[in-house]
Chains A and B, each alone.
Chain A
Amino acid sequence: MSTLNKKAMDGDGKKTSGGKDISAGGFIILFFIIGFAASMVLGWVIFPKLLYSQKQQPFSFNHALHVEEVEDGCESCHYFREDGSFSGIPKLAQCTDCHEEPMGETEDEAIFVEQYVAKEQEVPWLSYSRQPDCVFFSHSAHVIGAEMECVACHGHIGESESSRAYEYNRITGYSRDIWGKNIAGLKKNSWDRMKMDDCAQCHKEAGIIHTSSVQTERDACFVCHK
């Protein structure tokens, strides 16, 4: 008996609330849009700010100034050792070849000479481009073997006049440059990202020599993941 009554009442209710339906529908769309917009703001704007943290380099380094002074371009400081391994960021000993005493008058050089050269301490540079530990990357295969330019992966850092802040991922601890500045992972230039797909893209284009995997006729996993 009570069930029947309830059904009847429900029927009545629907009929009487016909006017309110339209405004409720509007609210529903409005809430959808609010939710959508809020999450888009969260995902595109707030999330990257939360995900990445910044550290400043020990002092600012002027690449442009140094490139002008040296003879061999990038290789003057970032050279290959006799055994073919890549030296990466120069060690203090290399810098002190020229900077035993300050050569210019900038504040940054003064910091360098006072805090590092005088105390014989290595400068704790933060590397923008270090790949995760699971990646085996050989500079010599790319720069000497494939004759690639430094710019292809590192961009125009050689023209920079100051060191930008080092941004790192709070979860992984790796540099932001690996994923790229663009949070969506979009890139315009070959140096904008350094993820596996970016490696694969180039390895695929130069497909003739990159066929270490018999099955896929492309490079096998172990080429980079030893």
Chain B
Amino acid sequence: MKVDRRSFLSFVIGGAAGTALSPLPWKLMDDSSIWSQMWPWTPVPPDGEVVYEDSTCSLCPGGCGISVRKVDNRAVKIEGKPGHPVNDGRICILGLSGLQFLYGPTRIKSPMKRIGDRGEGKWQKITWHEADAILTEKLSDIRNKGEAHTVAAIAGSDSGTVPALLQRFMTAYGSPNFIRTPSFRDADELAVKSLFGETGRTGYDVENADYVLSFGSGIADGWGSPVRMFQAASLWKEKNVTVVQVEPRLSNSAAKATHWVPINPGTEADLALGIAAVMVDRNMLDTGAVSGLRGWKSDLLDNYATQKVSQTTGVAAERIIALAKGFAGADHPLALCGRGKGSTAISLRETAAVYILNALTGNINEEGGMWALPETDYIQWPRATTDQLASAGLSQPRIDGAGSGRYIEARYLPTRLAESVNGGGPYPMQVLLVAGANPCHDLPDTKGVKAALSRIPFIVSFSSFNDETAAMADLLLPDHVYLERYADIPVEAGLTRQVIGLSKPVVSPQFNTRHLGETLITVARAMGGDIADAFPWDNYETCLEETLAEKWDTLMEAGVWVQDDVDPVADTLRLARQTTAPAIQAEGDVNSFPLLLVPYDSIQLTSGYIGEAPFMIKAVADTVIKGKDGFVEVNPQTASAAGLGEGDMAILTTPVGEARLRVHLFEGIQPGVLAMARGLGHTAYDGYLADKGVNVNELIGPVEDPSSGHDAAWGIRAMLAKA
């Protein structure tokens, strides 16, 4: 038998016929279509039981209630909690992106110690036991040498039990150097103290105001409790409330306001006092909430005559008078201050000017007005006993100079830290503990801050994320992310009532992290003696429950504790000389730096310790960042004088630094003024955030407010040239 060509063909035909009559081709066709429609590598979220867990967002000081949707044990969406006293079911873009902080690639997954050079990014994973031992040994050594004061802690907040534990640790240890990162609260505390004579904060009954005069406060850009402010802004639209935004730049808040009053940067206080002068001069005021008007009146009228103010501020005299009439004539006028999100300090003069403006309408502690409220005081721990070593350390001056000498009024001066460490301070620093703060990105003059940190031999970061400061650290002791932990969140942020939110674990910790409160209790225990005695709690949860006492049950049940009828700290504002202080000038020489650079805040960008989530970066316009390039906003007139067009690469130089940026032509900014978004230019974190845009803090340095020592820089002189 010979297999010839015909036999072979016959075999093939037989095979084809057989195949066609078998399921093989048809089944393969079906399977390949299923395969190609549902690629096996496409992630499919696992199905499961849907539950909602309520908690409190602590990504910004706003204190919104959140409801996290979970499928089995995986959190899949964060929503606003309906009926919550702060946000009533609404949420902002940062809060919505919170899961990316929980599950994102930027987290520090375990305690680690540095093994390479500083900033090289070489780490070795260690156990918590080893981590505690390293920190305890380091701190004990320094303390035993009588140098406890050379340890400093920098934190993002000083309210709530976690920052209070850190403060307590510092006291029991013997260091006066607990430092809070800068914010509008610095100026607010100071202004309340000097104008009302009491310790406290301000609150604003924005919902009931019927004429709002905002001195650069980003009502639609994240000021105060951002979601509450969005809701208030919608309410104002409905009720036809006049909203006047005084700001050098046409921000979102200015665009949404009834009137935008463009003003020369840094002259907001002059305008406020100019309006006050018109009100006093024409007797359009209510003297019920002020004292000392008689003595102060002539000072005011002499220094803030309408024409003069018009010249300083660039706002027409008629407009100043119209603003005064509108403001004074309203039933419930309200003036706001704190630039952008209020995440930076402003001068005492400016804060005082706006508070005085409020007081002159008699709106203090009134419906729709400004309230002078006490700080929350539910943390009532017995005073920590300090042994000899601690007392010796505490008797040393603070490294930032706050609370003594010419800075007697200030509680914390974080912007002076760099200068002190870099040589101007009373003693060298040996250890820096960093919690909920990212000074290497968020403090002005980041170059100076980084130089200062590189002089501190031992830095401990409690950050949950690979941020710029964690990159400089020697020991990483990562805290849980807010969705994994218990914490009390006292909400201030301009609210007129006392609100405490409870942050509850929504999911179990994803990595080998530990609650900062727990870490502090453990280390204190290990240090022994009076330090251990100052921390008598078994764990953080016990501490929290005991501290909140009768509020605990309410908080566990409702997630939030609210006290509506808060007694104001004072009813009368004492008019004094705060307003005669000279205006804060921008750093730099007019001839070398003919332009002015001002930073601005945006709701799509964060401006504190938390970096932007990938969701947020997606929402940023390509006139703010494009690819990796950041933009500077320039008036077309200024740009054409420098020979620059839209999208051109330019070099922006200030007395502090230099950066390459693209130009965005913007009519909403006056000639001679440049604006840059705050919150960009990260070098750490992940690929979604790192190396995008320029950090404005690299270009701006602190300018000291002579009355307090706080940073009051609203901008800096600058020069723009073609790259």
A174 to B40, CA, bound (A): 10
Contact of A83 with B by CB under 8 A? yes
Indicate which residue in B8, B19, B35 contacts A42 across the interface (CB closer than 8 Å): B19
Contact of B11 with A by CB under 8 A? yes
Nearest A residue (CB) for B28 = A171
Interface centre among A24, A37, A40, A88 (most CB of B within 10 A): A40
Chain B residues closer than 8 Å to A28, beta-carbon distance: 6-7, 10
Contact of A125 with B by CB under 8 A? no
A83 to B31, CA, bound (A): 34
Q: Are A36 and B49 in contact (CB under 8 A)?
A: no
Q: Are A88 and B47 in contact (CB under 8 A)?
A: yes
Interface centre among B11, B16, B47 (most CB of A within 10 A): B11
Indicate which residue in A35, A48, A171, A185 contacts B11 across the interface (CB closer than 8 Å): A35
Chain B residues closer than 8 Å to A121, beta-carbon distance: none
Indicate which residue in A30, A35, A88 contacts B12 across the interface (CB closer than 8 Å): A35
Interface centre among B6, B14, B49 (most CB of A within 10 A): B14
Within 8 A of B (CB), among A97-129: none
Chain B residues closer than 8 Å to A37, beta-carbon distance: 14, 18
Q: Are B50 and A185 in contact (CB under 8 A)?
A: no
Contact of A1 with B by CB under 8 A? no
Q: Are B47 and A36 in contact (CB under 8 A)?
A: no
Chain A residues closer than 8 Å to B16, beta-carbon distance: 35, 39
A24 to B5, CA, bound (A): 11
Contact of B24 with A by CB under 8 A? yes
Chain A residues closer than 8 Å to B49, beta-carbon distance: 81, 85, 87, 91
Contact with B along A120-142 (1 / 0, CB 8 A): 00000000000011100000000
A132 to B38, CA, bound (A): 8
Nearest A residue (CB) for B42 = A133
Q: A31-B8, A83-B50 are in contact. Are A44 and B23 (CB under 8 A)?
A: yes
A29 to B7, CA, bound (A): 8
Q: A32-B14, A172-B34 are in contact. Are A47 and B7 (CB under 8 A)?
A: no
Contact of B27 with A by CB under 8 A? yes
B: contact size bracket: 35 or more
Interface centre among A27, A83, A169, A174 (most CB of B within 10 A): A27
Contact of A59 with B by CB under 8 A? no
A: contact size bracket: 35 or more
A88 CB → nearest B CB, Å: 7
Within 8 A of B (CB), among A125-164: 132-134
Q: Are B44 and A39 in contact (CB under 8 A)?
A: no
Q: Are B18 and A35 in contact (CB under 8 A)?
A: yes
Nearest A residue (CB) for B49 = A81
Within 8 A of B (CB), among A34-84: 34-40, 42-44, 47-48, 51, 81, 83
Q: A42-B22, A44-B22, A83-B50 are in contact. Are A36 and B14 (CB under 8 A)?
A: yes
Contact of B641 with A by CB under 8 A? no
Contact of A95 with B by CB under 8 A? no
Q: Are B38 and A171 in contact (CB under 8 A)?
A: no
A120 to B8, CA, bound (A): 63
Q: A88-B47, A169-B31 are in contact. Are A34 and B11 (CB under 8 A)?
A: yes
Question: Interface majority SS on A: helix, strand, loop or mixed?
Answer: helix
Nearest B residue (CB) for A46 = B24
Nearest B residue (CB) for A85 = B50
Contact of B32 with A by CB under 8 A? yes
A42 to B6, CA, bound (A): 23
Q: Are A133 and B44 in contact (CB under 8 A)?
A: yes
Chain A residues closer than 8 Å to B621, beta-carbon distance: none
Q: A32-B13, A35-B15, A133-B38 are in contact. Are A43 and B6 (CB under 8 A)?
A: no
A136 to B19, CA, bound (A): 34
A216 CB → nearest B CB, Å: 21
Indicate which residue in A31, A40, A85, A171 contacts B31 across the interface (CB closer than 8 Å): A171
A87 to B51, CA, bound (A): 13
B507 CB → nearest A CB, Å: 16
Contact of A166 with B by CB under 8 A? no
Chain B residues closer than 8 Å to A133, beta-carbon distance: 38, 42, 44
Contact of B557 with A by CB under 8 A? no
Q: A32-B14, A36-B14 are in contact. Are A172 and B35 (CB under 8 A)?
A: yes
Chain A residues closer than 8 Å to B72, beta-carbon distance: 91
Nearest B residue (CB) for A38 = B15
A29 to B17, CA, bound (A): 13
A24 to B8, CA, bound (A): 12
A160 CB → nearest B CB, Å: 23
Q: Are A31 and B7 in contact (CB under 8 A)?
A: yes
A34 to B26, CA, bound (A): 22
Q: Are A183 and B27 in contact (CB under 8 A)?
A: yes
Chain A residues closer than 8 Å to B42, beta-carbon distance: 133
Chain B residues closer than 8 Å to A31, beta-carbon distance: 3, 7-8, 10-11, 14
Chain A residues closer than 8 Å to B28, beta-carbon distance: 171
Interface centre among B15, B26, B72 (most CB of A within 10 A): B15
A174 to B13, CA, bound (A): 33
Chain B residues closer than 8 Å to A91, beta-carbon distance: 49, 72
Q: Are A39 and B15 in contact (CB under 8 A)?
A: yes
Contact of A207 with B by CB under 8 A? no
Contact of A179 with B by CB under 8 A? yes
Within 8 A of A (CB), among B45-75: 47, 49-50, 72
Q: A24-B4, A31-B10, A47-B27 are in contact. Are A38 and B40 (CB under 8 A)?
A: no
Chain B residues closer than 8 Å to A85, beta-carbon distance: 49-50
Contact of B380 with A by CB under 8 A? no
Indicate which residue in A33, A43, A173 contacts B22 across the interface (CB closer than 8 Å): A43
Q: Are B34 and A174 in contact (CB under 8 A)?
A: yes
Q: Are B22 and A40 in contact (CB under 8 A)?
A: yes
A171 to B27, CA, bound (A): 11
Nearest A residue (CB) for B2 = A27
A33 to B42, CA, bound (A): 44
Contact of A184 with B by CB under 8 A? yes
B49 CB → nearest A CB, Å: 6
Chain A residues closer than 8 Å to B10, beta-carbon distance: 27-29, 31-32, 35
B434 CB → nearest A CB, Å: 36
A47 to B30, CA, bound (A): 14
Q: A44-B23, A47-B22 are in contact. Are A171 and B4 (CB under 8 A)?
A: no
A42 CB → nearest B CB, Å: 7
B76 CB → nearest A CB, Å: 14
Q: A39-B22, A44-B23 are in contact. Are A33 and B34 (CB under 8 A)?
A: no
Q: Are B40 and A47 in contact (CB under 8 A)?
A: no
Chain B residues closer than 8 Å to A36, beta-carbon distance: 14-15, 17-18
A169 to B30, CA, bound (A): 11
Chain B residues closer than 8 Å to A35, beta-carbon distance: 10-18
A85 to B51, CA, bound (A): 12
Q: Are B19 and A43 in contact (CB under 8 A)?
A: yes
A172 to B11, CA, bound (A): 32
Chain A residues closer than 8 Å to B15, beta-carbon distance: 35-36, 38-39
A63 to B1, CA, bound (A): 60
Q: Are A185 and B22 in contact (CB under 8 A)?
A: no
Within 8 A of A (CB), among B247-262: none
Chain B residues closer than 8 Å to A47, beta-carbon distance: 22-24, 27
Chain A residues closer than 8 Å to B14, beta-carbon distance: 31-39
Supplied contacts A35-B18, A184-B23, 15 more A-B pairs, CB within 8 Å: A27-B1, A35-B10, A35-B12, A35-B14, A35-B17, A38-B14, A39-B18, A43-B22, A43-B24, A47-B23, A48-B23, A88-B47, A133-B44, A134-B38, A173-B40
26 sample A-B contacts, Cβ–Cβ < 8 Å, listed by A number: A24-B4, A27-B1, A28-B6, A29-B10, A31-B10, A32-B14, A35-B10, A35-B11, A35-B13, A35-B14, A35-B15, A36-B18, A37-B14, A37-B18, A38-B15, A39-B15, A39-B16, A40-B22, A43-B18, A44-B23, A91-B72, A132-B34, A169-B31, A172-B34, A172-B38, A179-B27
CB-CB nearest 8 A-B residue pairs: A43-B22, A35-B14, A39-B18, A32-B14, A35-B15, A36-B14, A43-B24, A35-B11
Residues of B within 8 A of A (CB): 1, 3-4, 6-8, 10-19, 21-24, 26-28, 30-32, 34-35, 37-38, 40, 42, 44, 47, 49-50, 72
